[in-house]
Structure 1
Amino acid sequence: MRLFSRKYAPCLLVAALALSPLAAGAAQEVVAADLNPEAATVSHIESRPVVRAPRYMVSAANPLATAAGVEMLEQGGSVIDAAIAAQLVLGLVEPQSSGLGGGGFALVHRAGDSAIHAYDGRETAPAAARPDRFLKNGTLMPFFDAVDSGLSVGTPGLVRMMGDMHAAHGVLPWATLFQPALRLARDGFQVSPRLHALLRDADTLRNNAAAAAYFYDAEGSPWPVGHVLRNPDYARVLQTLADEGPDAFYTGPLARGMVEAVASHPVPGDLTEADLAAYRALRREALCAEIGAYRYCGMPPPSSGGLAVLQIMALLQHTPIARLRPGSAEAVHYFSEAGRLAYADRDAYVADPAFVRVPVYGLLDDDYLASRAALIRPERSMGRAEPGVPPGLIEAPAAESALELPSTTHLVVADRDGNVVTMTSSIEFVFGSKIFVNGYLLNNQVTDFSLSPTDDAGRPAANRVEGGKRPRSSMSPILVFKGEQPVLALGSPGGSAIINYVAKTLVGTLMWGKNIQAAIELPNMGSRNRATEIERGTPLSRAIGTLKAMGHEVREVEYPSGVHGVMWTPEGLEGGADPRREGVARGG
């Protein structure tokens, strides 16, 4: 495997600090699918036809967002213009997942440009944050108490990132991108079945007076499906940003409103106007590697997604999975074993590279991956994998058992010339911190850090809370090339399971020859270095007996991915949208 973007290596170096367990007791073993409120909305998978178009394709998590992207492209806008317009609509119609109060990551490729532009709009911890932030009298706060508090709110990065992307790649005027979301905020949009179901079950959202007044009726019931919901506060914020640019979000009345909302929470946080004014999105070197016949590009740390997906795809090159039948016990076995190894390294080594030395190039070294792949036995599961010792590692790691709960979205916009943006954005848990201000929700991304500042041996946790630090993420926007031509762009929401959702779709398209829609619809599977997880209510249940005989601990779980993607084919563009959620793909 040949790595690209070597200039990135000095930023990461070749060592890692130890990471700590998230918390003591049973909470360590909880995974996202167990506690994901969005899982309740998934009852079955209804197959859809792949969408084909000759000129462009937009795939996003809500039809109104997809329409906004199409509108920009039809006006002559760039793929970046379309992506920003779609995201602004998502923040309105899918508020449980992303929005102005959150952050994100994006990969951008422009036709004729060999560079892959990686934008990091991840939230940062307030400057006053300390490693013991979530300790109370020496004891860790319960996770959900930490989530539903002002302490969980990081400095939002999405607006600044979108502003930087538009400055570099936009064609239409900045204000034009706001028009679809402004119309919907003022005139109203219909509450969708998914939003209604999530509001019904979001008990703690009602504790925020501003959120309760917007999302619920006078009796405290969620607005019914089809109810026309208007958000004049969000419209006023959008108009301000359209007129004054991204700086208006980070200084002045909008910044003051966020700070006051966080400070007035019963468990107040310490976000300040200075934190907001100082925030900068970063342009990083994309993490790219040749694996088999393709070049894969993903986000570098602090996202663990790009690294873990590249590891899984490289490890699978050492297995016969490409020749196996999709859905077979053998295919699930090899995919899960590769996942165990990648997640073990992810949990041990990845954090914000400005604070921790991450051994990225050692973890993607050919010989290292070959030695890791040799641990995969064809007839028997390895059980829980230990992190490896990549080349140049100075200090041995301590594995972390991470609890990551998703409220995230993904979109892809592409054209026939090879211009493309693949972007994942998030407010972390469903409805974020539940703090609602000026028509949008604030994130709870600070709980993506290790809540405990140290591991069992008393060593500092690499992903511990520190002022100005970016928490580790699993967001995995991915671009795949063959030569200089893009082949595939995709990503997904789903907390720490994002990595498996994206890798499964890559296997389905690039190894099993399926179109993007069919690959997205394949049953979700994999291991996050715990049990082998298979999607409940799918044909994979027929493999359980064989997998158990091979030593797998098997769990059937709700696995509500939200993969959206675009493929380039000789006939044009193909778009896919995950039927487990409400998104659609549209082309022209």
Structure 2
Amino acid sequence: MKKSNNRRVWWALTPVALSLSLTACGGGSNNDAQNTAATLAAIAAINAANQPAPAAPDTGCLIPSGGSSVVVGSGDAGDPAAPEPASGYVPGHKLVYAKNYMVVANHPLATRAGCDILKAGGSAVDAAVAVQAVLGLVEPQSSGLGGGAFMLYYDAATKKVQAYDGRETAPAAANENYLRYIDPTGADTTAPKPGGARASGRSIGTPGAVRMLDIAYQDHGKLPWKDLFGYGITLASDGFSIGGRMAAAISSSATSLKRDAEATAYFLNADGSPKALGTKLKNPAYAKTLNAIATQGASAFYTGDIAQGIVDKIGITTAANDGSAITPGMTTMADLANYKAKRRDPVCGTYRDYYVCSMSPPSSGGIAVVASLGILETFNLGLYKPTAIDIEGGRPTVMGVHLVSEAERLAYADRDKYVADTDFVPLPGGSVDTMINKPYLQSRASLISLTKSMGVAQAGNLGSVPLGIDKTEEHGTTHFTIVDKQGNVVSMTTTVESTLGSYHMTQGFMLNNQLTDFASNPDDTSVTPSVKVANRVAPGKRPRSTMAPTLVFRKNADGSMGEFVMGTGSPGGGTIIQYVVKTLVGALDWGLDAQQATSLVDFGASNSVNTNVGGEHPNVDTSNSGNNDALITGLRALGHTVVTSAQSSGISTIIRTNVGGKPVLSGGADPRREGIVLGDTFTP
């Protein structure tokens, strides 16, 4: 063994080292030199032949353009981060494949931020921190440090799914009349100003996104925390170009933004006009905030100067532009210091050959998604797949849309009645199982007719609990999905509630108006005697949400969770459930790929007579009041009131698939937003 070991060391000598050894042994003639040179060349050739081939360079996080690769954010030709008008729907999005890691987010610069982290060996949670840091800068109309978020995380090593709750909370001084009266005690029953709670300090919940990312990082972070904010700080310091959706949000909100001095200075020109598409925007205040979080940790956001700035802004009482009254919020430094993000158990259930997990309360989204699928499991949806399937997902069939919409009506009815923050209002039976068990959902499915829409569904009889109906529509929300090199997955939906939140800006970021997701009137007077609604305001309570980050796995023979299949989610307020269910059914029942399922016509229904069919989609004909479109006329024949207004989903989907017998990742970005797919991509 000793001789063999010596031989291995000898063959490993470099040519230079070997030359020195031969010379030391007495060689020196020209012939010796020639022989030595020949020997060295032969050894070098043998060594080269026996060495493993160098690893191919990781060229991830680039996009192909005309035979070359483009860096996102470079400004070069083909850079998808170049400003473009808000699209409505951009046809032609192609499926993207990656070997080991992938990010899909609703803005190219945020996608790049996450991809760079994954390329450097970071975890999916590391990438999520980087993505959120950039999203708060480049799409402040949708998400940010001043908002909240829900995350689902799959740990590939332990095969476990963890839910993280970063939902905003009402301040300790709030009560059930906090959104209804200037004086919550009822001494002054004037409504909050201006124009209700939304643009006042009353709508602003204690932000949760930063603390939620912090606890997820503590569990699953890999790279140094301080290294996750670099791209966001650079963009904020050096500037970025305003994109279409941001420009549209600034334009539509200009009057409201003028009430806030910092928002006015940032979003508007000196003459008060909104900054336009393509304007280069720098945000040194945001860079300073990110740098503080990066160097001092998440607690820097919840204590000290940043927290004081948040409290001060929530407490403003007069508008900057005209001195008109703004009702202040009652948030204190203690509210921020005491905020707790929470680890929760996800809502999971089986669906055909799959195991589906989504977000738990205070979001109602996960329960409604799993319940909708459980109801649909009764039907053979494979018979009703879209026709003329193309890159845009094809044309949905009348019966396919009918069944999905009816199932959603039933799920929404239960969600409206029973779901709120379970830390305050328990679910029926004290468990989510009461609402998603198979026998119960089969009984709900029996209420669906194949020949006529039910219109408005009645909630199931799951016991006597307070009603909690809330029809608030969110527009300031985004979603991203990430898979890292180790196979860990993040599906995260993040929000400031409405477009640009409460219009209150501090230290470079917008504050949410999330508390308007509570019922403003704590009493349900539709019944006699009236009862308290489940989703009323209470101190420290989290408002109900519809966000539904979702993960799908193979179902093992015993019904347990198998390997990862799919991650998806979307913004869209009360319609998030519809967008997620549509995408899941498209992929799992109809065999659509990640891009087709994402691009597919947005359709579905909340619990009303209206059925949504996204008229922005090229496969929907809204001319002549929809009378030329077979889907629309077919649904009307079944009693549906079809609404064809443009949908604003932002679905981000990753599906694990096989190419050439090898597992790879495939991704789709929603054509209705500005996002892209990045990773260590390849062309099959």
The verdict on a shared fold, with TM-score over 0.5 as the criterion, is yes
2:315 to 248, 260, 263: 263
The ranges of structure 1 where at least 4 consecutive aligned residues each deviate by more than 3 angstroms after the TM superposition are 40-45, 136-144, 396-399, 537-541
Q: Does 1:145 align with 2:206?
A: no
Name the counterpart of 1:475. Answer: 547
Measure the CA separation in 1 of the matches of 2:223 and 2:172: 36
Measure the CA separation in 1 of the matches of 2:461 and 2:164: 29
Measure the CA separation in 1 of the matches of 2:100 and 2:385: 34
Q: Does 1:95 align with 2:147?
A: no
Measure how far apart 1:139 and its partner are: 7.2
Measure the CA separation in 1 of the matches of 2:407 and 2:415: 12
2:92 to 39, 43, 47: 47
Contact 2:346 2:357 in 1 (8 A): yes
Q: Does 1:464 align with 2:542?
A: no
Name the counterpart of 2:247. Answer: 196
Measure the CA separation in 1 of the matches of 2:587 and 2:194: 37
Measure the CA separation in 1 of the matches of 2:371 and 2:380: 16
Name the counterpart of 1:371. Answer: 443
Name the counterpart of 2:636. Answer: 548
Name the counterpart of 2:302. Answer: 250
Measure the CA separation in 1 of the matches of 2:441 and 2:264: 50
Structure 2 CA distance for partners of 1:401 and 1:232, relative to 1, 3 Å: closer
Q: Does 1:58 align with 2:103?
A: yes
2:380 to 309, 316, 320: 320
Measure the CA separation in 1 of the matches of 2:356 and 2:578: 15
Name the counterpart of 1:131. Answer: 176
Name the counterpart of 2:588. Answer: 510
Measure the CA separation in 2 of the matches of 1:480 and 1:586: 21
- 1:121-170 Cα deviation digits (max 9, x unpaired): 00000011110112246576699621100000100001101111111111
Measure the CA separation in 1 of the matches of 2:89 and 2:214: 38
Measure the CA separation in 2 of the matches of 1:371 and 1:231: 55
1:232 to 281, 284, 309: 284
Name the counterpart of 2:453. Answer: 381
In structure 1, give the amino acid aligned to 2:155: R
Q: Does 1:574 align with 2:625?
A: no
Measure the CA separation in 1 of the matches of 2:366 and 2:461: 19
Name the counterpart of 2:210. Answer: 159
Partner of 1:236, secondary structure, is: helix
Name the counterpart of 1:353. Answer: 422
- 1:335-355 Cα deviation digits (max 9, x unpaired): 110110011011111100010
**TM-score normalised to the size of structure 2?**
0.78
Name the counterpart of 1:498. Answer: 576
Measure the CA separation in 1 of the matches of 2:113 and 2:283: 17
Partner of 1:425, secondary structure, is: strand
Measure how far apart 1:396 and its partner are: 5.3
Correspondence list, 1:100-111, <5 A: 100-111=145-156
Correspondence list, 1:304-453, <5 A: 304-326=364-386, 327-359=396-428, 360-390=432-462, 393=463, 395=464, 398=467, 400-415=469-484, 417-453=486-522
In structure 2, give the amino acid aligned to 1:85: A
Partner of 1:207, secondary structure, is: coil
Q: Does 1:454 align with 2:523?
A: yes
Structure 2 CA distance for partners of 1:336 and 1:144, relative to 1, 3 Å: farther
Measure the CA separation in 1 of the matches of 2:195 and 2:143: 19
Measure the CA separation in 1 of the matches of 2:435 and 2:195: 33
Name the counterpart of 1:12. Answer: none
**TM-score normalised to the size of structure 1?**
0.90
Name the counterpart of 1:15. Answer: none
Partner of 1:267, secondary structure, is: coil
Measure the CA separation in 1 of the matches of 2:519 and 2:497: 14
- 1:381-428 Cα deviation digits (max 9, x unpaired): 1110010023xx3x1554625122221011111036421111111010
Contact 1:532 1:553 in 2 (8 A): yes
Contact 1:344 1:399 in 2 (8 A): no
Partner of 1:147, secondary structure, is: coil
Partner of 1:339, secondary structure, is: helix
Partner of 2:344, secondary structure, is: strand
Structure 2 CA distance for partners of 1:273 and 1:303, relative to 1, 3 Å: same
Q: Does 1:187 align with 2:203?
A: no
Between stretches 116-125 and 260-269, larger displacement belongs to: 260-269
Contact 1:47 1:521 in 2 (8 A): no
1:485 to 563, 572, 576: 563
Partner of 1:508, secondary structure, is: helix
Measure how far apart 1:331 and its partner are: 1.1
Count, aligned residues: 546
Structure 2 CA distance for partners of 1:274 and 1:480, relative to 1, 3 Å: same
Measure how far apart 1:79 and its partner are: 1.1
2:612 to 533, 548, 555: 533
Measure the CA separation in 2 of the matches of 1:526 and 1:535: 9
Between stretches 222-231 and 177-186, larger displacement belongs to: 222-231
Measure the CA separation in 1 of the matches of 2:249 and 2:671: 17
Contact 2:468 2:536 in 1 (8 A): no
Contact 1:289 1:295 in 2 (8 A): yes
Structure 2 CA distance for partners of 1:314 and 1:508, relative to 1, 3 Å: same
Measure the CA separation in 2 of the matches of 1:140 and 1:328: 47
Name the counterpart of 1:585. Answer: 677
- 1:268-319 Cα deviation digits (max 9, x unpaired): 0001000000001000011111121000001111001111000111111112
Structure 2 CA distance for partners of 1:399 and 1:354, relative to 1, 3 Å: closer
2:226 to 165, 175, 178: 175
CA RMSD of aligned residues (A): 1.6
- 1:482-541 Cα deviation digits (max 9, x unpaired): 042100001100001001001100011111001111111111111111111111144345
